[in-house]
Amino acid sequence: KAGVTQTPRYLIKTRGQQVTLSCSPISGHRSVSWYQQTPGQGLQFLFEYFSETQRNKGNFPGRFSGRQFSNSRSEMNVSTLELGDSALYLCASSHRGASSGANVLTFGAGSRLTVL
Amino acid sequence: AQSVTQLDSQVPVFEEAPVELRCNYSSSVSVYLFWYVQYPNQGLQLLLKYLSGSTLVKGINGFEAEFNKSQTSFHLRKPSVHISDTAEYFCAGDNTDKLIFGTGTRLQVFP
């Protein structure tokens, strides 16, 4: 069973540009979550998508957005990049359905974004 | 505040020695608790989880953790560590709509 796949693994952008990161969840997982990991702030929740709808959102500015497709693949976009957006962006998928229950996340290897 | 606290940022230990990585959670966090491990340049890998039932949870790579409701703790233990256990370890609690992570503990195993 293939794991969570994130592309690209590494990328370098300059301030003001935008970036799109992609995530393919484990087959059968319909929930996809995104986290930002930085040395200073640790792991912070960005958003969660389920059945093409954003179900939960963290405390990030509107420059951070995402979407989910009908095959559960997800993308996140960051517009007008700032130096502080340099981070490891982690995607995770889970079995969690529409009802509440434990959110057991399986993570991808991450996309490391460097903003110059 | 809903939070997960990892009390030690770094834990140095010699190979084959026992280790305990400490984690406390706030009472407002759901009692679904997790430990993840992160190796350099990789994502997070689930070590073990507590969802319900027995308070002693066994995970992969010989790790185990004990859920203690009265002390709101979920400490991770291994009786004998290997060099390959050198990594960052994260404790997390389920806050219904997202996982909240602790700040991580860097386990450094020396030969």
A99: Cβ contacts below 8 Å, ≥ 6 apart = none
B93 touches chain A (CB under 8 A): no
Count of C-beta atoms within a 10 Å radius of residue A108: 25
**Residue A1's pLDDT band (cuts 50, 70, 90):** low
Instruction: Please give the structure tokens belonging to residue A101.
Output: 């229950």
- B97 vs B20, residue with greater confidence: B20
Closest Cβ opposite residue A56 in set B42, B97, B101: B97
What span, in angstroms and rounded, lies between the C-alpha atoms of A69 and A77?
A: 14
Give the residue from chain A lying closest to B32, CA to CA: A102
Q: What local confidence, expressed as pLDDT, does residue A99 receive?
A: 61
Quick: pLDDT tens for B21-58. 999 998 766 678 999 999 988 899 999 999 888 899 99
Count of C-beta atoms within a 10 Å radius of residue A7: 12
Q: At CB < 8 Å, which residues of chain A contact B? A: 4, 6, 33, 35, 42-43, 45, 48, 55-56, 58, 90, 92, 100, 102-110
Closest Cβ opposite residue B51 in set A45, A102, A108: A102
Which residue in B54, B8, B52 sits closest to B30, CA to CA? B52
Strands B73-78 and B19-21 turn out to be antiparallel
Quick: pLDDT tens for B92-104. 998 777 889 999 9
Cβ–Cβ gap A48/B96 under 8 Å: no
Mean pLDDT, rounded, of chain B: 92
